[in-house]
Structures are given as structure tokens and as C-alpha cells.
Amino acid sequence: MVIWGDDIGIGNISAYNRGIMGYATPNIDRLANEGMLFTDYYGEQSCTAGRSAFITGQHPLRTGLTKVGSPGSSIGIQERDPTVAELLKPLGYATGQFGKNHLGDRDEYLPTNHGFDEFKGNLYHLNAEEEPEHEDYPKEEWVREMFAPRGVIHSFADGRVQDTGPLTRKRMETVDEEFLAEALKFMDKAHDRKQPFFVWFNSTRMHARTHVKDETLGRSGQGFYNDGMMEHDDHVGALLDKLDELGVADNTLVFYSTDNGPHFNFWPDGANSPFRGEKNTTWEGGFRVPALVRWPGRVNAGSTSNEIMSHLDWAPTIMAAAGDGSIREKLLEGHRAGSKTFKVHLDGYNFLPYLTGEEKRGPRHEFFYFTDDGNLSAVRMGDWKVMFSEQRAHRYDLWREQFDVLRQPKLFNLRRDPYERADTDSNAYNEWVMQRVPHFYKSAVVVGTFMKTFQEYPPSQGPQSTDPAKFR
């Protein structure tokens, strides 16, 4: 079972923040107490990239899904790129996805055309969903036909697709309850059939704009956003309770996370993180996300990991947990799953031996930070981060302004300076960097090795552009 929030920061979960924000998330914390909490876990810089990285195990540059998906776009997950669901189906799993998808606007991109038996959810970010209700939304009918968001979709692998109506501001107050109800029913039905299940629950909480029902307002005593966060925690609790009710909790791997770092420029309707930067930047605050893993009897309860792990790593890890520990090698050569044959380069590593204690260290030693335009901005190699470009803008401007390409990279040690403050706040920073220039040389080799993999396994498509002349 995979449970995701949306745009949730490390600072919003009490297992990480120790109560500093004035409210608690006891159900999410339960996963930390009964499993493993990660400190150095990476999503991607925005919604679509984070979701595609998880469900395909391929870098978003490779799938062309680096940019936030928009209504009317022709960009979406391609048939040639396998999902975890497609790879699990031949192993007998029931597969269900509930909540936000954000991997394409068209029917061909729906989860039920990519390995899932059932999907009920929305296709975009919430602020896009409510745009048609704005008084200044364009009045031309052709604009609505081309660019208005589709409604909440309920679809099935047999081809049935039902539009259940628009996701209005009012519906946003309770839409996660709709998704939760369908997820719980799906689990019940799979259990009745004695069939193992893979469920990906994608809450719309806490993406802006937050609309909470009257009964929830005031619950946290710390504003509407934190009220919504407590409601999200309730939904996590309902999913965990269902596992207990079905008697399968001890045999179910549970993973909690989110897609990307906080969208802080929406504050007070935005998440919090101690790390520098935010969503759509390549500072740590744009990529580092909460991650909690529980698997009773397999993952040590109450443990903390400082290993580098990424959304990319779950495709091979889940497959290994399901019994296929060589899926990465199979896909490099060509692997048939159901009626499709896939030949792709998974960029993730199998973390199962580490999670279960068979190995003391995780297999990932590097992480590549790409912008949503598909440009390499930084690389992490162990404790060291080399930054080739930086986003200097703040607030909404960071979505508008270009990244500044550096003539000489910046260097950070993410153990000694995890919040990336030294370049702006330390008198000794430049001298410190000058004595460590060989890390730049090393980064050239590490990046070059990664980029060479695109020669045999090229991108499925180019990223979406916000340039009107290039929009497709």
C-alpha cells in the first residue's frame, strides 16, 4: 500500500517536527513508530515528475514527464513505459489507484490503460481544477473545450470511463473522502477474492488551494491549512485500520510520502520544510520529502535511515518484495508483462535487502536534480552536492524566472551543511570550495556516465513547455 499526500513538507509531520507546528499527525507518526523514517529521501521538483518517477522507476527526463501536467496538454505517460502496476499484474495482483493522477489529460493516459484495474481520481493540481469558477476565466466556449479540466474520473481496465462531474471548490472539501471510500472498497473486494493488492492512494491534501469542510475548521487551532493536514492524517489512519481489519497488516508493505517539496510561496496555504528552497527549485527544499516505510517483521520498527533513497527506487523494490528481484535487468533486455513487451532503463535501485536488514547500506550513492524544463541543475554524490545552476528567484517568480547557470559550480556538503546556507552566510565558504575543486571533476564523470544511458534508452518524449508557441 502506497499512501501519498500532495506537496506535504517534512515540517508538517509531527514524527519529523516533534510538535513544533502545534498539532500532531498520530496516524502518519504510527508508520514512523512501527517502521523506518528517512531523512535523505528524494521526490522530484514538482507533481508530475514525482509521480512518474515513482510509478515507472524511470527518471522523468527519460519519460518526458518533468513539467507539471496541464488541462488540454497532449503530454502524458507513454505506452512504451511500464508502470509498477503493469509489472505486478502477471504476478496476480489486484491494482487500484485512487486520488490525484497528474500523468496526462487523455483517456490513453489514465491509470486503467497502464496496469490498474480501477481508478477514481482527479487529473490535475487543485488550483487548475477550480480555475473555471473564477470570475475572469475566459468566456469563449472554445477555451473551455480546449483547456478546461476534466471532471473526477472513475475508470476500469475493461474500458469503462465515467466522468463523475467537476472538482469544484465545494467538492474539494470532501473529495478525498470519496477517494478513500473507493480505496477501502477495492481492498475489501480483493481480500474477499483472496487476491494480493497494490493500492496507490493519492490524497489531494495538501495542494493549494485548500478547502476544508466546516466541521474541520478550527480543529488544529493553527489555521485552515493545519486543519486540513489533520484531516489528511485521519484518512491515513482509515487506510491503516482497514489493513488491521482485514488481518493483512503484518503481510503488507506500507509506504508514505509525497511528490515534491513544499509549495511555500502559497503560504499560509503551503507546506513547511527546514531545507532551503521549495517546489520547482533544485535546492534541497524542492526535492527532499518525508518518507516512512512499515513492514512488520521485515523493517525494523522505530528505525531511522540516513541513506539516500528516491521515488525511482520503488519500482525495483516493490517488484523484489513481490518475488521478482531481477526486473531491472529483465527490462534492459526486453521483458513481457501481460500483452506488452517493454525495453527500458530503470533508474531505480532495489532497496529490499537494505529495508529488511540484509544489507547495512542502501544501493543508491547519487541523485540527479533536473529542472522541470529538463535541464541538469545539480548532482549529489554521497555527502557532496555539486550545483551547476541555481534558482535565485523567490515567491511566484521562481516559476517565471530562468535558472542562473553558474560559470563555476557551487559545492555543498549535505552532512556538514544540510540546509545549504554556507554559500550565503559563511565568510569562509569560497576558500573552503577552492580547496575541494576535485569534486567538480568527479561530478563530470558521474553525470557523463548517467547521460550515456540515454543513447541506448532515449526519452519517450520531450517535456511540456509553457511557451505558447511550443505548447502541445
- Edge to edge, the sheet with strand 366-370 lists 366-370, 376-381, 384-390, 404-413
If one looks up domain 2-365 in CATH, what number appears?
3.40.720.10
Q: Where are the beta strands (DSSP E) in 128-210?
A: 153-156, 161-163, 197-202
pLDDT level of residue 68 (50, 70, 90 thresholds): confident
37 Cβ partners below 8 Å, 6+ apart? 15, 16, 291, 292, 303, 304, 305
The rounded distance, in Å, linking the Cα atoms of 13 and 26 is 9
**pLDDT confidence of residue 73:** 81
If pLDDT is split at 50, 70 and 90, which confidence band does 304 have? very high
- SS3 of residue 223 by DSSP: coil
Nearest CA-CA partner of 204 in 292, 120, 86, 285: 120
Q: CA 384 to CA 382: how far, in whole Å?
A: 6
Q: How many CB atoms lie within 10 A of CB 209?
A: 13
Beta strand pairing call for 340-342 and 197-202: unpaired
pLDDT of amino acid 407:
96
pLDDT digits (tens, 9 = 90+) for 184-199: 999 999 999 999 999 9
133 in Cβ contact with 165 (< 8 Å): no
- 190 residue type, one letter: A
Single-letter code of the amino acid located at 121: G
Mean pLDDT score of the chain, rounded to an integer?
96
Q: Given pLDDT bands bounded at 50, 70 and 90, which one contains residue 466? A: low
For residue 341, the SS3 value is strand
**DSSP conformational letter for 339:** T
102 with 85: CB under 8 angstroms?
Answer: no
Which regions of 311-383 does DSSP assign to beta strands (E)?
A: 335-337, 340-342, 366-370, 376-381
Rounded distance, CA 143 to CA 43, Å?
Answer: 33
Whether residue 469 has pLDDT greater than 60: no
Q: What percent of the chain has pLDDT over 70?
A: 98
Under DSSP, is residue 74 helix (H, G, I), strand (E, B) or coil? coil
CB 121 within 8 A of CB 153: yes
Q: Report how far residue 254's alpha carbon sits from residue 301's, in angstroms, rounded to the nearest whole number.
A: 13
Q: How far is CA 176 from the centre of its chain?
A: 17
Q: What is the mean pLDDT of residues 242-248?
A: 98
In this prediction, residue 462 carries a pLDDT of 87
The band of 468, judged by pLDDT with boundaries at 50, 70 and 90, is low
Cell of 447: 553525470
Hey, which residues does 369 pair with through a beta bridge?
378
Q: Beta partners for 390? A: 404
Per-residue pLDDT averaged across 365-394, rounded? 98
Residue keyed to cell 462531474: 165
Rg (CA), the chain: 21
Helix (H, G, I), strand (E, B) or coil at 115: coil
Rounded alpha-carbon distances, angstroms, from residue 468 to 69, 73, 102, 349: 15, 12, 21, 38
Distance from C-alpha of 343 to C-alpha of 353, rounded to nearest angstrom: 25
Q: What is the pLDDT of residue 72?
A: 76
pLDDT of residue 363: 98
Please provide residue 413's backbone torsions phi and psi, each rounded to the nearest 5 degrees: -105, 115
What phi and psi, each to the nearest 5 degrees, are found at residue 256? -115, 135
Best CATH choice for the domain 367-456 from the list 3.40.50, 1.10.600, 3.30.1120, 1.20.1740: 3.30.1120
d(CA 380, CA 368) in angstroms, rounded, equals: 6
What is the tens place of the pLDDT at every residue in 204-238?
Answer: 999 999 999 999 999 999 999 999 999 999 999 99
Q: Where are the domains of the chain?
A: 2-365, 367-456
pLDDT band at 464 (very low <50, low <70, confident <90, very high): confident
152 pLDDT above the threshold of 90: yes
